[in-house]
Amino acid sequence: MRQAELEKKAVERVRPARSELSLLAFGAVLGPYEILDPVGSGGIGVVYKARHLLMDRLVALKFLRPSLAKDPQFRLRFLQEMQSVARLDHPHIVRGYDAGELAGTLFCSMEFVDGPSLDQKLTETGRLLREREALRITLQVARALEHAHGQEVLHRDVKPDNVLLDANGSAKLADFGLAGTWLKCAPGTAQEHTEYTVGTPFYIAPEQACGVARLTPAADLYSLGVVLFQMLTGRIPYDGVESQAIMRQHVTAPVPDPRKGNSKISPKAALVCQKLMQKEPEARYRSARALATDIERLLAGEDLLFARPGSEGHGAQRDGGSSSSTRPAVGSARKLRPAARTPAAPNPGAIPERKRRRFDVDAAHPAAKPQAALGQLLGSVKELFGAKPAPAAPERPMRKRKRRLEGPRPHGA
């Protein structure tokens, strides 16, 4: 079966049926929840606005789609999202309240954010935000990621659709449906070897696009850099029709300069954006905390601490974060660009290179005389250039000196 047909079947498998969005009628009561309105759908779930009758509180009620409720793989992903949300408690992360099973399918009760998503806001404003507003939203998402990474949780799908804005304009990171851990991922486990690439092609990190299972926080920071680029310029950095072509650009295309799309962007804001979007994970910010520090300094009119002109591609200054959050991805984008070899530290007792070559020849041919060894070395060099090696010069026998049997000759004789 052709690849296009496989992709079509995969899309149809997870595409929400129209009946699923209106599956629960207005006023329907499931347990302690009263269904109010359908909100939308995520990767594997359908979301409703509901009210907890006992607590009189509005919630977002997310159900696993009925068409996927019997699939063990999707049930596992939904359960992982529940566990990830339960571990996180931060003002810039959508809170989780309850989880279980209702109407024959899994559900998760979460904080209801009465406001648009960042994607909807970009559409309303002509897909462009003022620099300070874009930096403020990026700072809040960075703080959310700092908390999640501190709990060993990677989001793996940071994008405008998953950033919700409340009535005060405060950003809240949502939809941890693709979340995973990196410290507890042991070799040989299901998390170590995946059969598909997770994430959204327009915002995916290079190492994530290559299918690396053991990702690090640097993958989330790259995706946040793409979101910042979009907020500053009004467009995504890499576009295309096919997912594979878009992901290939994330891996191989040069890091774009946001000032070419919007000349009003300050050089420091462009520097932060470009540092986030470096191809090598170790060349980006070492942690979300370091990113938040730089944005706070930028908003205060101070110099950047971790992103400086000419520092791209040479790593970041250490920010004092945990060593676990700064570990580079195993087998990640490092494979895409060979690392430069660093010269070995000098050893005072080492043999000089010129002498070492002579000693190597003598060790290879312990019985060879210098003239014969030189002939063999010359023959090897000529073979490299295609010339027929000349036969080695015959060894001249050494004259044996006659042993004097008589005693020493008297003086003057």
Extract the tokens encoding 90.
Answer: 């931060």
Furthest-apart CA atoms within the chain: distance in Å = 136
Structure-token match 């003086």, residue found: 411
CB 136 within 8 A of CB 117: no
* Integer Cα distance of 262 and 127 in angstroms: 12
| DSSP bridge partners of 105 | 102
Question: Is 119 a catalytic site residue?
Answer: no
Structure-token match 């991805």, residue found: 329
Q: Which is it for the CA torsion 298, 118, 114, 65, positive or negative? A: negative
Extract the tokens encoding 158.
Answer: 């940071």
User: One of 157, 175, 294, 319 is an active-site residue; which one?
Assistant: 157
CB 21 within 8 A of CB 46: yes
* Integer Cα distance of 261 and 229 in angstroms: 9
Where does residue 352 rank: exposed (0-12), middle (13-18), buried (19+ CB within 10 A)? exposed
- DSSP 8-state secondary structure symbol assigned to residue 280: S
Q: Which of 241, 228, 240, 230 is nearest to 268 (CA)?
A: 228
* Integer Cα distance of 91 and 276 in angstroms: 23
Extract the tokens encoding 239.
Answer: 């576009």
* Integer Cα distance of 155 and 163 in angstroms: 12
Extract the tokens encoding 293.
Answer: 């520090």
CB 155 within 8 A of CB 220: yes
What's CA 294's distance to the chain center, in Å? 20
CB 208 within 8 A of CB 163: no
Amino acid symbol at 179: A
CB atoms within 10 A of CB 318: 12
∠ Cα 174 180 184 (to 5°): 145
Active site residues: 157
